[in-house]
Structure 1
Amino acid sequence: MSIVSDNQRTSKALDKVKWLLVFVLVALVVWGNFYFAEPNSIYQPNVVVRIVGVILVSVLALFLAITTQSGKGFVTFAKESRIELRKVVWPTRKETIQTTLLIAVITVVVGLCLWGMDTFFFWAISKLTVLGH
């Protein structure tokens, strides 16, 4: 029992260190991108070098995040979501157009009915109250 709990504690501590590194790497990407974009910085790398640097450090941060326990859970969730998405039966173009037109017609009809009821109630109340005189 103590070996399992020691492994869990070690894993949680390692995950915290990894998340701290991810945070530091993301902060480094943001800072470096703004710093090296300044026209009066000491070192002005080529834009391509800056972009490659941002991509490489971002990929490293993403890799570290994926190796954590919650990162692995996210990858599993993404894979299962993709499997479920393949099972969806998408409507055809004709069905989509028909449904959209039906909703538009129903919206107009309901809008006209509400406008008619509003007009009728306004007229009836104005006849019964001071507004009509």
Structure 2
Amino acid sequence: MIPKAKSSRFDFAKWPSVIILTTVGIAGNQYYSVLPILYRVLALLTITILAVFIGMQTAKGKSFAVLVKEASTEIRKVVWPTRQETTQTTLIVVTVVLVMALLLWGLDYLLYWLLS
């Protein structure tokens, strides 16, 4: 369970600043489209890093960081199938799909023959 982060009294001002930074980044990228792409990418990266930094200072941002950390811990616990297991499972699924397709085709043909 994600612990409840304590909200700051300035959280209400941080989210609009994140939205404004994002809007400025998008509008600035469009407005300065004549500049080389390298400069625009660097500017967007800088604005994005700043917006993420401000967003992570809020209670929701801190909760999100905890969620990401716990999710990565859980992903490390997953036992992934081997190549052989994946191949065998795929072959079983393909075989079952083909058998079911043949059965349904046969049933459809039989019903068509009986009704005609």
Do they superpose with TM above 0.5?
Answer: yes
Choose the corresponding residue for 1:113, options 99, 103, 110.
103
- Which residue identity does 2:17 align to in structure 1? L
- Report the CA distance between 1:47 and its aligned residue: 3.1
Higher relative contact order (CA 8 A, sep 6+): 2
The Cα RMSD (Å) is: 1.5
Distance in 2 between residues matched to 1:125 and 1:49, nearest whole Å = 71
Structure 1 spans left out of the alignment, 5+ residues: 1-6, 127-133
Aligned-pair identity in percent equals: 38
Higher helix share: 1
Choose the corresponding residue for 1:18, options 14, 18, 27.
14
Deviations 1:17-75 (A, max 9, x none): 111000000000000001000x4xxxx4x432222111101100011111111111111
Pair 1:34 & 2:15 matched: no
- Report the CA distance between 1:99 and its aligned residue: 0.5
Choose the corresponding residue for 2:67, options 67, 71, 77.
77
TM-score (norm 2): 0.88
TM-score (norm 1): 0.78
Structure 2 spans left out of the alignment, 5+ residues: 1-5
